[in-house]
Amino acid sequence: MNIRELRVPGAFEITPRQFGDDRGVFFEWYKSSAFTEAVGHPVDLVQANCSVSAAGVLRGIHTTIAPPGQAKYVTAVTGAFLDVVVDLRPDSPAYGTWDSVLIDDVDRRAVYLPAGLGHAILSLEDRSTVMYLCSLEYSPHLDRDIHPLDPDLAIDWPTHGRDGTTLTYQLSDKDAAAPPFSEWA
């Protein structure tokens, strides 16, 4: 595994080594020992989620109030997503900073984000499937959202899908009504 820290401190991109032959491909998408060595701490994973999206579906920016917060380990099983991590920790020198990683079924990268960060994904292809491991079970009373198209964050969302077609962003009613970043502060 190749693990590198993103511009958002504590968030990491994980690129697995893939082993392929005429039968297919094998790779380890999560390995506790390699993760702990690179990140400096283990993560207690207690829930696994799966989401399937059409091209243009934009989910997030979602976070869970810290403490306890929710760490996530995210990868694409099929298709492609732009995975975006936003630093929402008020005491962080990188507060308001975001970074992104293309997670797809080619390079098979994963993204780790610790508690206190915001998370969003944009599907770049129909039927894209993302799976993520979480350190906290779903707790709706702790959930908070920020509008993913907030101009103050200026996230550079792609305008074209993986096949080159123009994307039309599709947000849930909850995400469309989310407050701007300025209200988070």
**Catalytic sites, residue numbers:** 62, 132
Q: How far apart are CA 164 and CA 167, in angstroms?
A: 9
Sort 48 into a burial class: Cβ within 10 Å, 0-12 / 13-18 / 19+. Answer: exposed
Four-residue CA torsion sign, 158, 163, 164, 165: negative
